[in-house]
Amino acid sequence: MTNDIFLKLKGIQKSFGGVHALKGVDLEIRKGEIHCLAGENGCGKSTLIKAISGVHEIDGGEIEIEGEKVEKMRPIDAINRGIQVIYQDFAVFPNLTVAENIALNGEVKNKARLVDWKEVHRTAEEAMNQVGAKLDPDIQLERLPVAGKQMVAICRAIINDAKLLILDEPTTALNEKEVENLWKVVRSLKEKGIAIMIVNHKLDEIYEIADRLTILRNGSFVSTGLISEYDTARFTKDMTGHDVTSAKYAPEESGEEIFRVEGLSLSGRFTDVSFSMNRGDILGITGLLGSGRGEIGEALFGITPVESGRIYLNGKEIQIKSVNDAIKNQIGYVPEDRLTQGLFMQRSILDNVVVSSIRKYFHGVKLDDNQMEEAADHWIKELSIATPSAKPAVRNLSGGNAQKVVISKWLNTDPRLFILNGPTVGVDIGAKSEIHQILRGLAQKGIGIIIISDDLPELLTNCNKIIIMRDGRIGEVTDNTIERIEL
Amino acid sequence: MKEKNKYAFLTSTQMILVYVIIAFSLVVGFRQPAFFSPATIITICRTGIFTMCFALCEMVVILSGGIDVSFPAIGCVAMYVPMYIVNRVYKIDSAFFAFAVAIIIGLLFGLLNGFLVSVLELPPLIATLATSSVASGGVVTLLGTREFTNLPSSLQAIYNTNLITYTAPDSGFTYPLNVLILVPVVAALLVSWVLRKTMLGRGLYAIGGDKNAARVAGFNVRKLQFIAYVFSGVFTGIAAMIYNILMHSATTSALMGDEMITIAACVIGGVRITGGHGTVLGTFLGVLLITLVQNNLNMLGIPTSWQRFVVGIVILLGTILTSWQAKRSMNAGRA
């Protein structure tokens, strides 16, 4: 049995300036298995990967590779022993071609002086055949979608005789179809005997792909086992340390309409979209990428306004021709890519909270600092944002807390309608359920909540009304009593 | 697939530049038939010599993800100092000496730029602005502002060496093409080869594309940045001496202000200001277009006072084209 084990970690410890990032972690990866490493943000997953790949030197514990103890692991040792990591940013070159991206690292390692373009193409071709990727070798990488860049990163990793491929949150930026394709590639690599470790915290994806699972929490090892040994309850309990309720959202029927749209159309994006929501409703909009699901949100917020159709908020018809119109009508919007669109990462929590409602704090020409601080502190408490004060820059916060800052920014504008596109993308399971509770509370207070998401379980639990978009039209409208959504 | 590649080629930045150059030439030639004459080619070559040299320097630096606005100042120092020595300190009549001093000065300032950008990690614009100020302020303070218009006989000999001389049959004017045209030609071929065929060249593209990815891949990012700035400095020194020889003038301010037109030539030629994109051929076309426009506006009957304005418009349109091409390229990834 022990021959099957490729990598074995025993009691790995690592601390940074007195903070224990890893407090004795065990991990066992077998040859040709797909192993998921799960845990909430900040549990030590990234540190563990960096320990395995030799980027961080460990303070204690043992690393064994193929039964042989490794005394000191440097990045080059890890690579020579067949360990390859694909980080979330892929570390690829957007300006170079597919072929060059795949072959370049090998050429650098061989200390080549001249580039043999025939050899570059041959290497790339071979790697793509092995992985089963079909890409034009001469296309520049910036022209590829994220999934394509990822394939290039995988091709590049395996040309160096990889025996263990580590993928750090590989599905974050992919749509459902691309994820499926990724799993196909991962499985075919597995059949070639390559061990694969995937860092992930989406339960449904883990069920689909993993053979075994290891869960970390706060830098400690919690549990490991076959995927069949885990059900949802155990998984969430091991991840968060407590039981997370996931009762379906079922508001009382109020019968009081707060928002209605009729015949919204935007050529090339969506056609004839009509729906309405009552006080207390949380409306979910889903569909495949390109089905118009995200575009509706952007249209209602005036980013790309609709060309025809009527919009009624609290019984009054309103015009939304620009973002300004939307803000005037007290509509809030959390974009899908909050890092680039929703937040000023370098600025403090306080600055981010008040940025959309800054007019409130002007007294003459002066800003009222005290009032702004009060507002920021209020939301930090209200949404339990984990921070000592409102001063730190947002980029120091975890994904979940950053998302709470975006939400408080809009809550501070007293919205009547609040649209969230992918509100829990990249947010770990504990913070996710907190955000869901917040949204439910807002809906109860009479704020219209629209969640746009491809996370179907999220919609089924939190929305009492779900719209499924297909090819720019409403395909189906349903409540959340159903078990599965077919896109 | 083939059709698509063909379309992509025909609408590439370089091909569009070729169309624009042809169209412009036709318009000028239509108004002034004298335009279609070997004399025009020689004139263009002559005025384009140093612009091309400087554009090569700038292109290499921009490719690597940086920018160099110090080359006019470095160039001025590199031609002024040897001429000052020859004229006022000790009369050394040697072309080798003049070029050697120019190269050493270029090298030193290139090293300074490389140090500021790669070791101290200053933003390249600020670093090279500072270098520019230090270079031009330093030389004025120490050596004053004279103009040297006499070449020592060794340099004069180079000036007198022509590759070919064209005599216009009707007017009898002669149009000599100086042998120094070979410098940008050889340099362009060499730089092009290095960029395409060597790991050094690919490394420059790599660090211009993504520094972090380049580091992970095992490139020595600092060394590559250093090389880019040092090349720029050294070649600027050579180009400045060429300027001095052809213009019979070395001053402390002759080249100042050239950085904008040079950067513009690069960008029009498809060099992306954010780094990682660009070719020697594109840069050459960019230089050709700008030189053509600068030289021939009067032939179109546009008054000299308008020339700066028109050149500005050309730069603007050229840059819009390049950035539009870049956007088109990135959007292709989303579809």
A140 and B CB contact within 8 Å: yes
Please check whether residues A231 and A275 belong to one and the same domain. Answer: no
Residue of B nearest to A109 (CA): B218
**pLDDT class of B332 with cuts at 50, 70, 90:** low
More confident residue, A204 or B239: B239
Chain B, 272-291: which have a CB under 8 Å from a chain A CB? 272, 275-277
Q: Do A93 and B329 touch (CB under 8 A)?
A: no
Mean pLDDT for A451-473 is: 87
Please check whether residues A313 and A364 belong to one and the same domain. Answer: yes
The answer to whether the beta carbons of residues A63 and A52 sit under 8 Å apart is yes
The answer to whether the beta carbons of residues B69 and B62 sit under 8 Å apart is no
Q: Which residues of B touch A108 (CB under 8 A)?
A: 199, 203, 217-219
Q: Which sequence spans correspond to the domains of chain B?
A: 37-255
Question: How far is B130 from B117, CA to CA, in rounded Å?
Answer: 11
Report phi then psi at A221, rounded to 5: -75, 130
**pLDDT class of B335 with cuts at 50, 70, 90:** very low
In a domain, A249, yes or no: no
Of A240, A267, A287, which residue is a domain's last?
Answer: A240
Shortest alpha-carbon distance between residue B205 and chain A (Å): 8
More confident residue, A43 or B107: B107
Tally of CA atoms within 13 A in the half-sphere of A416 that contains its CB? 18
Question: How far is A105 from B216, CA to CA, in rounded Å?
Answer: 9
Residue A442, token pair as written in the block: 């807002």
From residue A102, give the alpha-carbon distance in Å to each of A109, A432, B268: 13, 37, 30
Name which of A325, A333, A318 is nearest A419 in CA terms: A333
Question: How far is A290 from A282, CA to CA, in rounded Å?
Answer: 23
Name which of B268, B250, B237 is nearest B84 in CA terms: B250
Residue of A nearest to B334 (CA): A145
Mean pLDDT for B225-233 is: 96
Strand boundaries in A2-105, DSSP class E: 5-16, 19-30, 34-38, 60-65, 68-70, 83-86
* Whether residue B331 has pLDDT greater than 70: no
pLDDT of B1: 43
Please check whether residues A279 and A365 belong to one and the same domain. Answer: yes
Cβ neighbours for B235, distance < 8 A, ≥ 6 positions apart? B53, B56, B57, B106, B187
- SS3 per residue for A323-391: HHHHHHCCEEEECCCHHHHHCCCCCEHHHHHHHHHHHHHEECCEECHHHHHHHHHHHHHHCCCCCCCCC
pLDDT of A414: 86
More confident residue, B279 or B322: B279
Mean pLDDT for B269-287 is: 91
Q: What is the mean pLDDT of chain B?
A: 88
- Of A174-183, A246-255, B190-199, the one with minimum mean pLDDT is A246-255
Question: Using alpha carbons only, what angle is made at residue A477 by residues A472 and A479, rounded to the nearest 5 degrees?
Answer: 145
* Residue matched to tokens 């402390």: B252
Domain of A410, in residue numbers = 257-478
* Whether residue A399 has pLDDT greater than 90: no
Name which of A248, A197, A178 is nearest A39 in CA terms: A197
Please check whether residues A271 and A363 belong to one and the same domain. Answer: yes
Name which of A47, A55, A107, A102 is nearest A83 in CA terms: A55
Question: How far is A31 from A6, CA to CA, in rounded Å?
Answer: 5
Which region, left, alpha or beta, applies to residue A314 given φ > 0 means left and ψ of -120 to 50 means alpha? left
Q: How many domains does chain A have?
A: 2
Angle between helix A98-109 and helix B199-209 axes, rounded to 10 deg:
120
Chain A, 141-200: which have a CB under 8 Å from a chain B CB? 142-145, 148
Residue A425, token pair as written in the block: 């993308």
Over residues A27-57, the pLDDT tens digits come to: 999 988 999 998 876 678 888 888 888 888 8
CA A422, chain centre distance (Å): 9
Question: How far is A82 from A94, CA to CA, in rounded Å?
Answer: 26
Please check whether residues A181 and A301 belong to one and the same domain. Answer: no
Please check whether residues A112 and A179 belong to one and the same domain. Answer: yes
Name which of A75, A112, A76, A107 is nearest A93 in CA terms: A107
Among the partner-chain residues A92, A104, A145, the one whose CB lies closest to the CB of B202 is A104
Tell me what ipTM this predicted complex has. 0.82
Neighbours of A440 (CB within 10 A): 17
Residue B327, token pair as written in the block: 């956007």
B66 and A CB contact within 8 Å: no
Please check whether residues A103 and A209 belong to one and the same domain. Answer: yes
A92 and B CB contact within 8 Å: yes
In a domain, A168, yes or no: yes
Residue A197: which H helix or E strand, with range? strand A195-199
Among the partner-chain residues A95, A144, A145, the one whose CB lies closest to the CB of B208 is A95
In a domain, A171, yes or no: yes
Neighbours of B282 (CB within 10 A): 23
- Strands A34-38 and A212-217, by their bridges, are parallel
**pLDDT class of A428 with cuts at 50, 70, 90:** confident
Q: What is the DSSP string of B276-323?
A: S---HHHHHHHHHHHHHHHHHTGGGT--GGGHHHHHHHHHHHHHHHHH
Q: Do A96 and B206 touch (CB under 8 A)?
A: yes
Per the DSSP assignment, residues forming a β-bridge with A310 are: A262
* Whether residue A373 has pLDDT greater than 80: yes
A91 and B CB contact within 8 Å: yes
Of A240, A270, A292, which residue is a domain's last?
Answer: A240
Name which of A18, A6, A143, A9 is nearest A82 in CA terms: A6
* Whether residue A339 has pLDDT greater than 70: no
Mean pLDDT for A119-129 is: 91
Of A211, A240, A269, which residue is a domain's last?
Answer: A240
* Whether residue B285 has pLDDT greater than 90: yes
Burial of B132 (0-12, 13-18, 19+ CB in 10 A): buried
In a domain, A484, yes or no: no
pLDDT of B53: 95
More confident residue, A156 or B172: A156
Cβ neighbours for B298, distance < 8 A, ≥ 6 positions apart? B304, B307
pLDDT of B206: 94
Please check whether residues A24 and A163 belong to one and the same domain. Answer: yes
- Of A92-101, A334-343, B196-205, the one with minimum mean pLDDT is A334-343
Question: How far is A64 from A28, CA to CA, in rounded Å?
Answer: 9
Mean pLDDT for A305-310 is: 90
Question: How far is A38 from B121, CA to CA, in rounded Å?
Answer: 37
Cβ neighbours for A423, distance < 8 A, ≥ 6 positions apart? A334, A403, A407, A435, A439, A451, A453
A114 and B CB contact within 8 Å: yes
Please check whether residues A189 and A303 belong to one and the same domain. Answer: no
Q: Give the domain CATH number at A32.
A: 3.40.50.300
In a domain, A247, yes or no: no
* Whether residue A409 has pLDDT greater than 60: yes
* Residue matched to tokens 């041959």: A122
Name which of B45, B73, B44, B69 is nearest B57 in CA terms: B69
pLDDT of A449: 93
The answer to whether the beta carbons of residues A264 and A296 sit under 8 Å apart is yes
Mean pLDDT for B35-42 is: 86
Residue B213, token pair as written in the block: 């990815």
In a domain, A485, yes or no: no
Mean pLDDT for B56-77 is: 95
Burial of A416 (0-12, 13-18, 19+ CB in 10 A): middle
Over residues A136-151, the pLDDT tens digits come to: 898 888 888 888 888 9
**pLDDT class of A1 with cuts at 50, 70, 90:** very low
In a domain, A296, yes or no: yes
Q: What is the mean pLDDT of chain A?
A: 85
Q: Which residues of B touch A90 (CB under 8 A)?
A: 213
pLDDT of A338: 64
Side chain identity at residue B238, one-letter code:
I
DSSP state of A214: E
Q: Is the dihedral of CA A422, A427, A428, A434 positive or negative?
A: negative
A104 and B CB contact within 8 Å: yes
Please check whether residues A181 and A232 belong to one and the same domain. Answer: yes
Q: Do A92 and B213 touch (CB under 8 A)?
A: yes
Question: Using alpha carbons only, what angle is made at residue A431 by residues A405 and A331, rounded to the nearest 5 degrees?
Answer: 40
Chain B, 172-201: which have a CB under 8 Å from a chain A CB? 196-201
Q: Do B329 and A109 touch (CB under 8 A)?
A: no
pLDDT of B187: 96
DSSP state of B87: I
CA A306, chain centre distance (Å): 28
Q: Which residues of B touch A114 (CB under 8 A)?
A: 197-199
Burial of A320 (0-12, 13-18, 19+ CB in 10 A): buried
* Residue matched to tokens 């916060």: A397
Please check whether residues A288 and A163 belong to one and the same domain. Answer: no
- Strands A60-65 and A5-16, by their bridges, are antiparallel
Would you say how long chain A is, in residues? 487
Residue A197, token pair as written in the block: 């470790």
* Whether residue A284 has pLDDT greater than 70: yes
Among the partner-chain residues A108, A115, A145, the one whose CB lies closest to the CB of B217 is A108
* Residue matched to tokens 């020859």: B86
- Strands A417-421 and A331-334, by their bridges, are parallel
Greatest mean pLDDT among A71-85, A349-363, A422-436, B67-81 = B67-81
Name which of A462, A354, A327, A344 is nearest A402 in CA terms: A344
Mean pLDDT for B83-110 is: 91
